[in-house]
Amino acid sequence: MSTPADTSITTKSLLVRGYEVVIGFETHAQLATQSKIFSRAATAFGAEPNTQACAVDLALPGTLPVMNKGAVECAIKLGLALGSTIAPRSIFARKNYFYPDLPKGYQISQFEIPVVQGGSVEFYLGDEKKSVRLVRAHLEEDAGKSLHEDFIGQTGIDLNRAGTPLLEIVTEPDMRSTAEAVAYARELHKIVTWIGICDGNMQEGSFRCDANVSVRKPGAPLGTRREIKNLNSFKFMQQAIDFEIRWQIDEIEDGRAIQQATVLFNPDTGETRAMRSKEDAADYRYFPDPDLPPLVVAPEWVQQVRAAMTELPRVMAARFITAYDLSDYDASALTQSREVASYFEAAAKACGQAKLVGNWIMGEISRRLNTAEQDISACPVKPAQLAQLIGRIHDGTISNNAARQVMDALWADPQSGVDAVIEAKGLRQMNDSSALEKIVDAVLAANPKNVAEYRGGNAKALNALVGQIMKGSQGKANPQQVNEVLRQKLG
């Protein structure tokens, strides 16, 4: 669990050694359908090789593709979530290339008229609001996979993945730093998982990002880009882009021109390395696939999908701002996932202290979950318990400090109740003013020097007295109340 963006990253000064960085993303989101995009074979991950490839996936002669309606609905959902235009009529095309894992010799994709056009992804980078424009998102099929069996020195082909539905989401070259690129990818990941069109599992390849990176002197035309393929973790993404930026600037400074290329990131060396020179669209000899009619999406269909969709993160954040009086930043942090949002809402409703609930989730709870590398679904303290704890801070029963101790105890043993822990650990604040006055009197009597100093005009001498009183109360006195009583007694 994390806040929307790492605030430690400076976003103000964007130039790197005098160069402006330009980044555009192409992301392949594997759609969470049961069956493939043009066949009835299953898409489940991890099956024995070649057990989930049917005649269509194998491209046997005479087979024909049939569009999976569920995959189209996923595309519509994404378009609605990002404010895009859903094309009423889009076209499937053949992208021709030869590779052993591509039985047909072409990939069915969308070229000239994609189903999703325009829109944007909005997110915070620190406290700065960013908007990255989308060019398009198009439906396509995945290829199979080469398995390099080193122990027999041979390569096998697994066609289970062939025909798995993908949505390729393409941005304008709008990002200006590694931090912004990673924040964009995190936001897009949040959205596709939120609306349920992709499981977001990056290790399994369900969400693969290609980062197009170039650098230029401020005001110059766009530089030549290199495309870093298949970044499958946010950490590698950051390392790869950082390395690529440094490498490109070094090349230019050494007087060499950047060649357009496709590169791979090697996590072991932390370096990017050219894989092949970049193909142009013309190399793929795209043409409309005669086996598939145009994809027609009627407005009624879009309406139906819209009506069945869950509240979107952006909409929910806006509601949190008005309903709970949260800042933009807090609302964005608390809608980082559906789980966090519903945890927040349950606790806020139960205790009526939305701001405090938000602070506790983003602070104490988030910190503990991060340490344990867990997300909020694994949080041992449930929203009702957090609400109860915050209620006890709010009604003055315990201090913030004591509340943190209660949280520790609840974390270790969620069965122990809030009030039971407060009593067992003796954390109740001293709200009984006569008991407090006794302590204050004793401390004043024992520290005549401090009293004289304070009366002589040294305001700092009060701190020493407050410290003594807090100690005398074993930390249970309410500091605010201590100050009041002291000032009153000292005139």
Q: Which of 42, 170, 302, 309 binds ligand ADP (CB under 6 A)?
A: 170
Closer CB to ligand ADP, 214 or 238, in the complex: 214
* Residues contacting 308, CB < 8 A, separation 6+: none
Closer CB to ligand ADP, 228 or 354, in the complex: 228
Query: CB 460: neighbour CB atoms within 10 A?
Result: 9
Closer CB to ligand ADP, 93 or 362, in the complex: 93
In this structure, what are the phi and psi dihedrals at residue 272, rounded to the nearest 5 degrees? Answer: -105, 145
Shortest distance, CB of residue 225 to ligand ADP, whole angstroms? 4
Return the residue nearest ligand ADP (CB atom): 24
Of the candidates 376, 421, 378, the one whose C-alpha atom is nearest the C-alpha of residue 403 is: 421
How far is 315 from 122, CA to CA, in rounded Å? 12
Q: What is the 3-state secondary structure (H, E, C) of 250-263?
A: HHHHCCCCCCCEEE
Q: For ligand ADP, how many residues bind (rule: CB under 6 A)? A: 16
Shortest distance, CB of residue 264 to ligand ADP, whole angstroms? 16
Q: Which two tokens stand for residue 275?
A: 């894989």
Shortest distance, CB of residue 212 to ligand ADP, whole angstroms? 3
Closer CB to ligand ADP, 277 or 415, in the complex: 277
**Among the residue ranges 47-55, 65-73, 171-179, 327-335, the one whose residues contact ligand ADP (CB under 6 A):** 171-179
Cβ distance 354 to 348 under 8 Å?
yes
Per-residue interface string for the shown chain with ligand ADP, residues 79-118, x marking contact by CB under 6 A: ----------------------------------------
Closer CB to ligand ADP, 84 or 214, in the complex: 214
**Among the residue ranges 17-25, 90-98, 284-292, 483-491, the one whose residues contact ligand ADP (CB under 6 A):** 17-25
Q: DSSP labels for 348-361?
A: HHHHS-HHHHHHHI
Q: Residue 65's Cα: distance from chain center in Å? A: 35
**Does 173 help bind ligand ADP (rule: CB under 6 A)?**
yes
CA dist list (Å): 459 to 202, 462, 465: 58, 6, 11
Closer CB to ligand ADP, 14 or 321, in the complex: 14
**Among the residue ranges 23-31, 68-76, 358-366, 382-390, the one whose residues contact ligand ADP (CB under 6 A):** 23-31
Closer CB to ligand ADP, 248 or 399, in the complex: 248
Query: CB 252: neighbour CB atoms within 10 A?
Result: 18
Location of structure tokens 């094309």: 87
Closer CB to ligand ADP, 198 or 213, in the complex: 213
Q: Which of 3, 9, 26, 249 binds ligand ADP (CB under 6 A)?
A: 26
- Residue 202 identity: M
Shortest distance, CB of residue 133 to ligand ADP, whole angstroms? 9
How far is 59 from 332, CA to CA, in rounded Å? 46
How far is 340 from 366, CA to CA, in rounded Å? 10
Shortest distance, CB of residue 232 to ligand ADP, whole angstroms? 18
Closer CB to ligand ADP, 144 or 223, in the complex: 223
Shortest distance, CB of residue 176 to ligand ADP, whole angstroms? 10
E strand or H helix at 96, and its extent?
A: strand 93-96
Shortest distance, CB of residue 241 to ligand ADP, whole angstroms? 11
Per-residue interface string for the shown chain with ligand ADP, residues 205-224, x marking contact by CB under 6 A: -------xxx-------xx-
By CB under 6 A, the residues from 402 to 431 that bind ligand ADP are none
Shortest distance, CB of residue 81 to ligand ADP, whole angstroms? 19
Strands 261-266, 226-231: pairing kind: parallel
Query: CB 385: neighbour CB atoms within 10 A?
Result: 20
**Does 241 help bind ligand ADP (rule: CB under 6 A)?**
no
Of the candidates 118, 91, 126, the one whose C-alpha atom is nearest the C-alpha of residue 11 is: 126
How far is 199 from 99, CA to CA, in rounded Å? 28
CA dist list (Å): 324 to 320, 337, 340, 350: 5, 18, 15, 13
**Does 24 help bind ligand ADP (rule: CB under 6 A)?**
yes
Cβ distance 51 to 237 under 8 Å?
no
Chain residues binding ligand ADP by CB under 6 A are 22-26, 170-173, 212-214, 222-223, 225, 281
